[in-house]
Amino acid sequence: MIRAWLVFALAVLAMKAQAHHAPNSFVRLDFRAHEVRAQLMVPVSELTFAMHATPTQQALPAYLLKHVGAVTPQGAAWTVTVTAVRPTTYLDQPYLVASVVLAPPAEASVRDFTFTTDAVTHEVRNHVVVIVAERDYADAALGDAPKILGALQYPGRELAIRLSPAAPR
């Protein structure tokens, strides 16, 4: 029932999508035991300004590797890998969704780091990247209530993430 309502509501809003505010980006983080997986949903319209070209699925990984990262509190860089890119549509507007794996250096915590991104925001001054914790292997309840961790707008490009330590398993 809820799902049917949601599909209906989204269909209605899709019809309304042209009443758009300039679309923002959305980053969903999934905290695993040894890495963080991220889904970056970026609007094609704004990405076009940032890449100075029509963005493609093929070109996006190289762009994101320059504009997305993570570092430990001591400043050591994490490894960033773009594993997939797919197109999607949200409220009639095209987006690209990138699957990204963020892996910390050996011995570094996956729950205490600084997420960095200036994707799109390095160029589009009104653009906002909203970052959300969507899943956490140590917090089963999060899946039911994703938590907004913060939002980045130029010139901001760093978001400190300090999750409580995972309980021993």
Partner 1 sequence: MKNSLAFRCWSLALLLCTGAAQATPTACENPGGGELEPVLAAVARLHSALTAPQLALLERPLTRENATRWSNLPVGVVPRAGLRLGDLDEKQAAAARAVFETALSPCGLKMLDDVRHADDFLIPLDARPIGWDGRNYYLSVLGQPSAHKPWMLQLGGHHLAYNFTFNARKPGATPLFFGTEPIRFELQGVSYEPLKVQSTSMRNLAVAIAGYSQAKLSGTFTDVVKGVEVTPVPGQLPKGGTDTGFPQTYPAGTNDRGVPYSALNPAEQALVRTALRSYASLPGAAVSQPLLAAYESSDALRETYVGYAGATDLGEKGSYVRIDGPRIWMEFVVQPAVAKPSENHYHALWRDKQSDYGGEVGH
Contact residues for partner 1, defined by CB under 8 A: 6, 9-10, 13, 15-16, 18-26, 28, 39, 41, 43, 45-46, 49-50, 88, 90-91, 95, 97, 122-128, 130, 148, 151, 153-156
Nearer to partner 1, 91 or 103 (CB): 91
* Structural tokens at position 67: 């504009």
Decide if 64 contacts 99 (C-beta within 8 A).
no
Task: Compare residues 72 and 153 and give the one whose CB is closer to partner 1.
Answer: 153
- Could you tell me whether strands 158-162 and 112-117 are parallel, antiparallel, or unpaired per DSSP bridges? antiparallel
- For residue 43, which of 29, 68, 64, 22 has the smallest C-alpha distance? 22
Nearer to partner 1, 71 or 128 (CB): 128
Q: How far is the CB of 128 from partner 1 (least distance, A)?
A: 6
C-beta of 114 vs 153, nearer to partner 1: 153
Cα(13)–Cα(83) distance, rounded to whole angstroms? Answer: 31
Nearest distance from C-beta of residue 151 to partner 1, angstroms: 7
Q: Dump the DSSP string for 33-90.
A: SS-EEEEEEEEHHHHHHHHTS---TTTHHHHHHHHEEEE-TT-PBPEEEEEEEEEEEE
Question: Could you tell me the smallest distance in angstroms from the CB atom of residue 147 to partner 1?
Answer: 13
Cβ at position 79, least distance to partner 1 in Å:
25
